[in-house]
Structure 1
Amino acid sequence: MQEVEQIQISALKLASLNREYHRKGRRAIHNIRTFINVDYENIRDARNMLEKFRQELDFAKYELRGAKTPETIQVNNALYADALKNFQKQLCDV
């Protein structure tokens, strides 16, 4: 009779450990899925925005180098300064 009780206690402990194992596994998978679906999307969007601002900065730099008249130099310099400000702001955010 005592052996049956011992087996029953062991089975209950194993069942409890099995449930705990599955609970921890589901929690880990939940955290990974949350990162992929939420956080990674935000990171990807921020990186894409940074890439866009970098391309605008490169274009403004190219236009500034190609400017010949003082008026176009002044306009392109303002565009370059604005593009640089946007790029640096996004860089700090990322």
Structure 2
Amino acid sequence: MKGMIAAEQTVQEWGNGLGVRITAPIAKAAHVARGTPIVVEVVEGGFFVRVSGKPKLSLAQRLKQFDPQMHGGEVMASSPVGKEIF
């Protein structure tokens, strides 16, 4: 793997389980963020962590990505219905 980044970590108690903190440089290099789904697999000599999909976005994150130009300036590009019609 080209330009591999590594960091020594310590397993810590986290509630009733154990946890490992992913440092910002490693998260950035791996293109992961809060909410990114992962899979943890037990392998010979330890475990392997890999991304299993895209992060689920919060409503605020989805609204931030909204492009009015792409959607004609409206959330719903259909014609008016109900009390909107005068």
Higher helix share: 1
Higher strand share: 2
TM-score, scaled to structure 2:
0.23
Where relative contact order (Cα < 8 A, 6+ residues apart) is larger, the structure is 1
TM-score, scaled to structure 1:
0.21
Asked which structure has the greater CA Rg, the reply is 1
